[in-house]
Structure 1
Amino acid sequence: MITKLMIIIPLIAAIIVPLLHKRFKTIHIGWFVLIIPTILFVMLLRFIPLISSGRTFTHTWDWIPSYNISFTTYLDGLSLLFALLITGIGSLVVLYSIFYLSKKESLHKFYCYLLLFMTAMLGVVFSDHLLVLYFFWEFTSVSSFLLIAFWHHRKASRRGAQKSMLITVSGGVAMLIGFLMVAEMTDSFSIREIISIMPTELDHRLFMPAMIFILLGAFTKSAQFPFHIWLPDAMEAPTPVSAYLHSATMVKAGIYLVARFTPIFAMNMNWFWIVSIVGLITLFWGSFNAGKQKDLKALLAFSTVSQLGLIMSLLGIGSIVYVLGYSAETAIYTQAGFAAIFHLMNHATFKGALFMTVGIIDHEVGSRDIRRLGGLMRVMPITFTIASIGSMSMAGLPFFNGFLSKEMFFEATLAIRHLDLHYAASLFVVVAWVASVLTFVYCAIFVAQTFFGTRDLLPKDRVIHEAPKGMLIAPSILAILVVLIFIFPNFFGKYILGSTMLSIYPNMGSIQEMTPTISAWHGFNTALIMTIGVIILGSILYATRKKWSGIYGVLPEKMTFNYLYDLIVEEIQIVGKFVTDLYMTGSLRHYLIYIYLFIFLVVGGYFVKSNSFAIDFSQNAPVEWYEIILMIVMALAAVFIIFAKLRLTAVVLNGVIGLGVAIFFVLFRAPDLALTQLVVESVTTVLFLLCFSYLPEWKVEKSAKITKLINAVIAIGAGVLVVVISFTVLEYSEFKTISGFFENAYELVGGANIVNAILGDFRAFDTMLEVVVLLTAGLGVYILIKSKSKKERNNHENK
Structure 2
Amino acid sequence: MSLLHTAVSLPFIGAMLIPAIYYYNKRIHPGYFALIIPIAAAILFILAQLNNQINQTLNWMPHIGLNLNFRMDGISLLFCMLITIIGALVIFYSIHYLNKREQLGHFYTYLLLFMGAMLGVVLSDNVLALYLFWELTSISSFLLIAFWNHKQKSLEGALKSMLITVLGGLMLLGGLLTLVTITNTFSLHEMVSKSDVIIQSPLFTTAMVFILLAAFTKSAQFPFHIWLPDAMEAPTPVSAYLHSATMVKAGVYLIARFTPIFALSASWIYIVTFVGALTLFWASFNAVKQQDLKGVLAYSTVSQLGLMMTLLGIGGLGVYHDHQPLFYAAVAACTFHIFNHASFKGALFMIVGIIDHETGTRDLRKLSGLIQLMPVTFTAAIISALSMAGVPPFNGFLSKEMFLSSMFDISESNIFNGPSVVLLLALVIIGSLFTFIYSVKFIKDVFFGHSPAVDKQVHEAPLFLLLSPLVMVAVVVITGLFPNILTGLIESASYAVLNKDIGHLHISHWHGINPALITTLLIFAIGTALVFAYKYWHSVYLLQRPNWTFNYVYQKGLTAVESISYHINNTIIASGIRKHLIIIFTALIVMTAVFLAQSPLNFGDWQLSEVRLFELILVVLILIATYMIIVAQSRIFSIIMLSAIGYSVGLFFVFFNAPDLALTQLTIETISTALFLMCFYHLPKLSRYEETIKFRLTNAVISVGVGLVVTIIALIAYGHRFSPSIAEYYIKNVYELAAGKNMVNVILVDFRGFDTLFESTVLGIAGIGIYTLIKLRDKKEVEHEQTEK
Which residue among 339, 345, 357 is the counterpart of 1:345? 339
The residue type equivalent to 2:282 in the other structure is: W
Say yes or no: does 1:654 pair with 2:651.
no
**Counterpart for residue 170 of structure 1:** 167
Which residue among 265, 282, 285 is the counterpart of 1:285? 282
Distance 1:576 1:769 in 2: 30
Say yes or no: does 1:395 pair with 2:389.
yes
Distance 1:77 1:595 in 2: 54
Deviation digits for residues 242-271 of structure 1 (CA, Å, limit 9, x no counterpart): 111111111100000111111111122222
- Provide closer, same or farther for how the CA distance between residues 456 and 336 of structure 1 changes in structure 2, counting only shifts above 3 A: closer
Q: Which runs of 5+ in 1 are unaligned?
A: none
Preserved contact between residue 3 and residue 53 of structure 2 (Cα < 8 Å): no
**Counterpart for residue 149 of structure 1:** 146
**Counterpart for residue 562 of structure 2:** 573
**Counterpart for residue 632 of structure 2:** 644
Distance 1:235 1:779 in 2: 38
The residue type equivalent to 2:491 in the other structure is: G
The residue type equivalent to 2:693 in the other structure is: K
Preserved contact between residue 284 and residue 435 of structure 1 (Cα < 8 Å): yes
**Counterpart for residue 3 of structure 2:** 2
Distance 2:772 2:445 in 1: 47
1:711 deviates by 1.6
Say yes or no: does 1:691 pair with 2:704.
no
Preserved contact between residue 592 and residue 709 of structure 2 (Cα < 8 Å): no
Which residue among 290, 294, 305 is the counterpart of 1:297? 294
Preserved contact between residue 607 and residue 613 of structure 1 (Cα < 8 Å): no
**Counterpart for residue 445 of structure 1:** 441
**Counterpart for residue 378 of structure 1:** 372
Preserved contact between residue 396 and residue 406 of structure 1 (Cα < 8 Å): yes
Between 124-133 and 647-656, report the one with greater CA deviation. 647-656
The residue type equivalent to 2:478 in the other structure is: L
Q: How does 1:144-543 map to 2 (within 5 A)?
A: 144-326=141-323, 330-419=324-413, 421-458=417-454, 460=455, 462-494=456-488, 496-506=489-499, 508-509=500-501, 514-543=503-532
**Counterpart for residue 25 of structure 1:** 26
**Counterpart for residue 533 of structure 2:** 544
Deviation digits for residues 474-494 of structure 1 (CA, Å, limit 9, x no counterpart): 212111111121233212222
| Alignment coverage as a number of residue pairs | 783
Q: CA RMSD in A?
A: 2.9
- Provide closer, same or farther for how the CA distance between residues 9 and 670 of structure 1 changes in structure 2, counting only shifts above 3 A: farther
Distance 1:627 1:433 in 2: 88
- Provide closer, same or farther for how the CA distance between residues 325 and 713 of structure 1 changes in structure 2, counting only shifts above 3 A: closer
Between 528-537 and 347-356, report the one with greater CA deviation. 528-537
Which residue among 615, 623, 641 is the counterpart of 1:635? 623
1:38 deviates by 1.8
Corresponding residue SS for 1:61: coil
Distance 2:518 2:761 in 1: 64
Distance 1:350 1:779 in 2: 51
**Counterpart for residue 108 of structure 2:** 111
The residue type equivalent to 2:211 in the other structure is: I
**Counterpart for residue 83 of structure 2:** 86
Preserved contact between residue 355 and residue 361 of structure 2 (Cα < 8 Å): yes
Say yes or no: does 1:12 pair with 2:13.
yes
Deviation digits for residues 63-121 of structure 1 (CA, Å, limit 9, x no counterpart): 44344443322111111111111112111212212222223222222222222222221
Q: Which runs of 5+ in 2 are unaligned?
A: none
Distance 2:682 2:270 in 1: 73
Distance 1:771 1:341 in 2: 52
The residue type equivalent to 1:479 in the other structure is: V
- Provide closer, same or farther for how the CA distance between residues 423 and 614 of structure 1 changes in structure 2, counting only shifts above 3 A: closer
- Provide closer, same or farther for how the CA distance between residues 197 and 492 of structure 1 changes in structure 2, counting only shifts above 3 A: same
Which residue among 73, 76, 81 is the counterpart of 2:73? 76
- Provide closer, same or farther for how the CA distance between residues 118 and 779 of structure 1 changes in structure 2, counting only shifts above 3 A: farther
Deviation digits for residues 713-735 of structure 1 (CA, Å, limit 9, x no counterpart): 32233234333433443212367
Deviation digits for residues 217-243 of structure 1 (CA, Å, limit 9, x no counterpart): 111111111111111111111111111
Which residue among 586, 591, 601 is the counterpart of 1:602? 591
- Provide closer, same or farther for how the CA distance between residues 781 and 103 of structure 1 changes in structure 2, counting only shifts above 3 A: farther
Distance 1:681 1:125 in 2: 56
Distance 2:363 2:637 in 1: 74
Between 568-577 and 344-353, report the one with greater CA deviation. 568-577
- Provide closer, same or farther for how the CA distance between residues 186 and 21 of structure 1 changes in structure 2, counting only shifts above 3 A: same
Deviation digits for residues 618-647 of structure 1 (CA, Å, limit 9, x no counterpart): x32222222222232233233323333344
Corresponding residue SS for 1:210: helix
The residue type equivalent to 1:431 in the other structure is: L
Distance 1:77 1:427 in 2: 33
Deviation digits for residues 679-737 of structure 1 (CA, Å, limit 9, x no counterpart): 32232233233333444555445212232222223223323433343344321236775
- Provide closer, same or farther for how the CA distance between residues 355 and 588 of structure 1 changes in structure 2, counting only shifts above 3 A: same
Preserved contact between residue 375 and residue 455 of structure 1 (Cα < 8 Å): yes
- Provide closer, same or farther for how the CA distance between residues 738 and 72 of structure 1 changes in structure 2, counting only shifts above 3 A: farther
Distance 1:166 1:550 in 2: 33
The residue type equivalent to 1:34 in the other structure is: L
Distance 1:70 1:37 in 2: 24
Distance 2:637 2:614 in 1: 25
Preserved contact between residue 72 and residue 127 of structure 1 (Cα < 8 Å): yes
Distance 1:772 1:488 in 2: 61
Preserved contact between residue 745 and residue 754 of structure 1 (Cα < 8 Å): no
TM-score by length of 2: 0.92
Distance 2:19 2:735 in 1: 45
Deviation digits for residues 739-764 of structure 1 (CA, Å, limit 9, x no counterpart): 55655654996465553454345544
- Provide closer, same or farther for how the CA distance between residues 728 and 215 of structure 1 changes in structure 2, counting only shifts above 3 A: closer
Distance 1:787 1:514 in 2: 68
Distance 2:88 2:649 in 1: 65
Distance 1:275 1:370 in 2: 34
The residue type equivalent to 1:730 in the other structure is: Y
Preserved contact between residue 182 and residue 210 of structure 1 (Cα < 8 Å): yes
Preserved contact between residue 502 and residue 514 of structure 1 (Cα < 8 Å): no
Distance 2:783 2:506 in 1: 65
- Provide closer, same or farther for how the CA distance between residues 687 and 361 of structure 1 changes in structure 2, counting only shifts above 3 A: same
Say yes or no: does 1:677 pair with 2:671.
no
Between 527-536 and 287-296, report the one with greater CA deviation. 527-536
Percent identical across equivalent pairs?
44
Distance 1:85 1:2 in 2: 18
